[in-house]
Amino acid sequence: MVEPGLSSRLRQHSRRTGMLVGLSMAVAIAICIVGFIWIYVRVGPIFSDFIPQSSADLTPVVLGGAATPVSATPAAQIAGLATPRSTPTVSASPTPIWEATHEIVSGETVNYRAGPTTDSDVVDVLAPGTELKFIGEQQVTDGVTWMHFQTQDGTTGWIRTVDVRPLVP
């Protein structure tokens, strides 16, 4: 013998339980999303050296009439180093004029390191578009070419060639 009120109470109870389970799942998913975003923001600058840049962000360099992507040929990057942005003018001040030769390519921030390896300490984190002066020293470490730069405030450091492009004169 089944009571008519009992089955309706069981249905109400199961509806409430289902709503609470659904609500708790939504809260758990929201907590996971917020947690992943927080981790990505905190860890992103540390691992930005290992994230490849997309080829759409690269600007072509014309060499001998043919356009080639900057990251495809290290010779193109070196060739861009031979000609500075503009010729420096002689000034009366004895201090040399700082003149940018390269800039950080658009995209993510880049680690400015004390040495030419990803194991070296991070001196600074540079934003896209930051102008740099090439000091004239390059080094290949584990198949990656690193370039030695100076910022406008005089800080020196190393950046991978795929993270910079020569400034157009």
| pLDDT digits 0-9 by tens, 121-131 | 999 999 988 99
Say what the pTM is.
0.45
Spatial CA neighbour of 126 closest among 94, 155, 96? 155
CB atoms within 10 A of CB 96: 8
Which CATH fold topology does 55-166 show? SH3 type barrels. (2.30.30)
Q: What is the pLDDT of residue 52?
A: 58
**pLDDT, mean over the chain:** 77
The residue behind tokens 């840049």 is 53
Q: Where are the domains of the chain?
A: 4-42, 55-166
Alpha helices in 48-146 (DSSP H): 74-82
Q: Terminal CA-to-CA distance of the chain, rounded, Å?
A: 93
The residue behind tokens 């201090």 is 95
